[in-house]
Structure 1
Amino acid sequence: MAKRFQDLGPLTNGEPMSILAFKKEQRLELWKQRESGWEMVCSYPFTGYSGTLGPKLEEGDGQIPEGIYQIEYLNPNSSYHLSIKLDYPNSFDRKMADVDGREELGFDIFIHGSSATIGCIPIGDEAIEELFYLIAKNGYSNVTTIITPVDFRLGAAPPEVDGIGWEADLYAKLSKRLKDYPIPENPNNEDDNKEHQLPTVPPSS
């Protein structure tokens, strides 16, 4: 990390961070909020994938959730090297389940290392070490995770989901939220993105 980030101070100063995860593109991005707006730190490809496009609805469906999530805790003793626990199901997931009459929504959704997955987001061991460290040093309570079926910033159309009627509202909310984050110059070139270094900002007086 010392080679990849000349100065970790601006990345770990406690200011908000965001994780963006795009299921179709199978890409995860880490962003840091600066005075000038959101700036991307780096991106990582998924190393595994399960399910299809569309929200997670029940335990055992293999789906990666879609929505806006907070981090519950960091697990340094994960079976998948390291892992980051998301708060699925959140209040929106539970509310929609009540509307649909669904129970047993599933649990234990993580971003983790390795490549095996059933409904989680794996990014490999080296990448999770980097992401885990940056989030731990910055404070995981300052990180919001946004998981979308497609990268709406690129003009992608939302998927059609059978059996539910509330996904359009969810996707409109997610699309609106993504407008805060500029489209990376080279969104699918992870090697270039990982070399991006946020400018050092002097401490405020």
Structure 2
Amino acid sequence: MPLIADFARAGLLIVTLMAAGCSESTTFEDLSPKADKQLSPKLVAEMKAKGMERNAPILARIFKEEGKVEIWKQKTTGRYDIIATYDICKWSGKLGPKFIEGDRQAPEGFYTVRPAQMKPNSQYHLAFNIGYPNAYDRANGRTGSNLMVHGACSSSGCYSMTDAQMEQIYAFGRDAFKGGQTEFQIQSFPFRMTAANMARYRNDPNYEFWKMLKEGYDHFEITKVPPKVDVCEKRYVFNRVTEGGEALSPTGACPAFTQPDSLKMAYQSYQSTYEAAFSSAVNKSSVAPKPTIAGLKEANIVSDWTRKRARGERVPIEPPSLEADGSVSVTSRMGRIDSPAGKRMAALEEAEAAKKKAAEDKKRAAEEKAAAAALAKAEKSAPAPAPAPVTADAGQIAVIPPEAATAPEQATEKPGLLGSVRKRIGNIFGS
């Protein structure tokens, strides 16, 4: 079991290095009752059966497409094993990373939760901040804040659970911190990074980003120890030890590094098996890919929608989506957020509509007044009507009405007051 022993020691070394750079602490005293709920006797028994101490370190993994949150816990061997799986109640956005504030994307990547990020008094029942943006996000100019795993089953870029689920997840983190863990890792993925799934998304614009995440995914699958995560050259690197022990710069060049021989050999073997499975999956029919975000362009479109919505403007109920041909699709149903901003915007729109209607009414009244004045003037200045023409036929006199003397076809009169005025003026002058 040399590989297991190597990575058990590596895991303990990583925890020690993390502790050296962490000054945050919490006693978890004076918590609200919901934040102090204990794990069930059943879960405690399962932990004991798997060789886990109640306050042993944890790790969380999130899979968007499958809609799962997994909690892994360290065993006395140093390796981690899964202890609980929860269905995600809601997450917003599409598969793919978060790019900018307001794009409603739930983050993907490797994140760290420290005690100060725990939110026992969250308005969403219970929560913890996952630590977005991390070093990778900042190096790549990605923005956003307050991205959580929380209760209340409501999401605008977070991973939302039911309140009952969140009480258990929160308890796992709380107990691990009480046991001495200084921070725990969250690995957030678009899907389980199997050969079949990677083959399904091989033509996706996010594929290169997902291939980078997969290396960390694979390291954990091989070792069952949280990988040491660093960033250099604006990309993730895993389980690297620099020759001089220097720190890595997220935007700088990656220095020379080493990795344990046991890891390199195990990873090469793992990759050989994966590549054969990937080639086989490419040639097989599979489930169609799910919608994914089309990069920064779509993120900007959604972010603009979010800003308008936050101002209370009427916007499509669902966020817009960028299609493969470059067009933007929106839902026809419109609405506004029911918030103070939304109510203010509704009041402004109603006032503007009332102002517009008053101006139209005033214009209409002026036109009617002018038309009435023209009619009165025409009637006052009109000459007396000429006598009707008379024809004699067999000793009889026929009176021809004035209207009969006009052209056989009359133009159609325009409806309304102005049309009526024209008609009456025409009658006055016999035309």
Inter-partner Cα distance in structure 1 for 2:44 and 2:71: 17
Q: CA deviation at 1:86?
A: 1.2
2:60 matches 1:19: yes
Inter-partner Cα distance in structure 2 for 1:177 and 1:56: 23
Tell me if structure 1 keeps the 8 A contact 2:193–2:214: no
Amino acid in the other structure paired with 1:69: Y
Amino acid in the other structure paired with 1:110: M
Tell me if structure 2 keeps the 8 A contact 1:16–1:143: yes
Quick check: which has more Rg, 1 or 2? 2
2:133 matches 1:107: no
Q: Which residue of 2 aligns with 1:51?
A: 93
Inter-partner Cα distance in structure 1 for 2:184 and 2:196: 25
2:168 matches 1:127: no
Q: In the TM superposition, what whole-angstrom CA distance separates every residue of 1:13-71 from its partner, at most 9, and x where no partner exists? A: 3x431100001111000001221622111010000121011110001111111111001
Tell me the TM-score normalised to structure 1 length: 0.75
Q: In the TM superposition, what whole-angstrom CA distance separates every residue of 1:84-130 from its partner, at most 9, and x where no partner exists? A: 11111000111122xxxx6xx11111111111101111111001101
Q: Which ranges in structure 1 are unaligned for 5 or more consecutive residues?
A: 182-205
2:134 matches 1:90: yes
Residue 113 of structure 2: SS of its match in structure 1?
Answer: strand
Q: In the TM superposition, what whole-angstrom CA distance separates every residue of 1:144-185 from its partner, at most 9, and x where no partner exists? A: 1000001114742174554x785155333343244145xxxx
Once the two structures are overlaid, the 10-residue window that deviates more, 22-31 or 169-178, is 169-178
Q: Which residue of 1 aligns with 2:193?
A: 152
Q: Which residue of 2 aligns with 1:77?
A: 121
Q: Which ranges in structure 2 are unaligned for 5 or more consecutive residues?
A: 1-38, 225-431
Q: Which residue of 2 aligns with 1:66?
A: 108
Q: Which residue of 2 aligns with 1:203?
A: none
Q: Which residue of 1 aligns with 2:409?
A: none
Change (3 A) 1:168 1:134: closer
Percent of aligned pairs with the same amino acid:
25
Residue 152 of structure 1: SS of its match in structure 2?
Answer: coil
- Greater helix proportion: 2
Tell me if structure 2 keeps the 8 A contact 1:17–1:31: yes
Q: Which of 1 and 2 has higher RCO (CA within 8 Å, sep 6+)?
A: 1
Residue 41 of structure 2: SS of its match in structure 1?
Answer: coil
Report the number of matched residues. 174
Inter-partner Cα distance in structure 2 for 1:31 and 1:44: 12
Tell me if structure 2 keeps the 8 A contact 1:70–1:141: no
Tell me the TM-score normalised to structure 2 length: 0.37
Q: Which residue of 1 aligns with 2:41?
A: 3
Inter-partner Cα distance in structure 2 for 1:161 and 1:141: 37
Tell me if structure 2 keeps the 8 A contact 1:85–1:108: yes
Residue 134 of structure 1: SS of its match in structure 2?
Answer: helix
